[in-house]
Amino acid sequence: MASVYEFIISAKDLAFATAGKVSAAVDKINTVAHKATASTTKMQASAQTAFGKILTSTKSAVRGSATLQHSIDELQDKLAELNKVKFGTVLKSEFAAVNKKIKKTKKQIERLQQGILMDMGLIEDKRKKALTQNLDEKTDEVVENVTE
């Protein structure tokens, strides 16, 4: 009879030890799941912020391009008027002054056209490149935290 009690007690001890190991494993899985959820939440917040910035820059690029295009049109009209004056004058000093204004107006048009191309993403801006690189680094960091 004593051996039956010993067997029952050892079986009970073995069952409790196994249950303790299973409980520890479940706790560890639960901790990893919480870390993954927290990292996913951080990544989602970062992604929402990045997409918000992209949306804002896109909206401003569209508005900015339209505004810049109006400015370019006005400057081109001014350039046409200056060319009329340039070819209609006989005074050397007036010709030189108009030439300076034409060069200045052409530079302004060139700068505005570059601004439009930059807003449309056809010319890469160093700030945009840095922002994208920073976002990529943060995403890699979050992914590393999740996998740990």
Please say if the pLDDT value at position 148 is more than 70: no
Domain boundaries, the chain: 2-147
pLDDT of 40 reads 86
For the ranges 58-62, 73-77, 116-120, the maximum mean pLDDT occurs at 73-77
The mean of the pLDDT values for the chain is: 78
Through-space distance between the first and last CA atoms of the chain, rounded to whole angstroms: 52
Residue 76 and residue 109 in contact, taking contact as beta carbons nearer than 8 Å: yes
Give the mean pLDDT of 53-62: 72
pLDDT band, very low/low/confident/very high, at 145 (cuts 50, 70, 90): low
What does the pLDDT average to over 87-110? 88
Quick one: CA dihedral 131, 71, 59, 62, positive or negative? negative
Res. 100 pLDDT band, cuts 50 70 90: very high
